[in-house]
Amino acid sequence: MALLLDTHAAIWWLTDSPRLTPAARTAVAAAIDGEGVFISAISGIEVALEDARRPMPPVEAFVEGAEASGFRVLQFDMQDAVAFSRLPRLHADPFDRAIAAQALRRQLTLVTADRALARYPIAVYRL
């Protein structure tokens, strides 16, 4: 199964956080060697824009870690924008909605702990 990590799932992978369960770690590792683990370019923007409300790693470290982990970067294109516009506003965060739109359009399983994202019509691996 091909996975798309939401921003926090990617950070938890990169920082070896206990918030990413052992089962999820196993699934991500298997997907890296299998159908692939994707990360949205939107996550890079989200990390770069975050403030003290939610600590994030420096964007350079995030990008380098994602590349070193073998994640494939999904660029956000115009068809993603169309998919984004068609999603109901179940989530107030436009970054998360954009990532959900990419998962929907590309039929990827979204790895997330965000309950609101699980309400979208996408495959979700809940953390």
Give pLDDT tens digits for 64-118. 999 999 999 999 999 999 999 999 999 889 999 999 999 999 999 999 999 999 8
Neighbours of 60 (CB within 10 A): 11
What is the rounded distance in angstroms from the CA atom of residue 83 to the CA atom of residue 78? 9
Cα–Cα distance for residue pair 60/65, rounded to 1 Å: 8
Q: Which domains does the chain carry? A: 3-126 (3.40.50.1010)
Contact 9/127 with Cβ under 8 angstroms? yes
Q: Which two tokens stand for residue 72?
A: 């494939």
SS3 helix, strand, coil % of the chain, rounded to 5?
A: 50, 15, 35
pTM value is 0.94
Give the C-alpha separation, 11 to 65, whole Å: 9
**pLDDT bucket at 55, cuts 50 / 70 / 90:** confident
Residue 51 — pLDDT band, cuts 50, 70, 90?
Answer: low
C-beta separation of 65 from 39 below 8 A? no
- Rounded to 5°, the CA angle 119-87-78 comes to 135
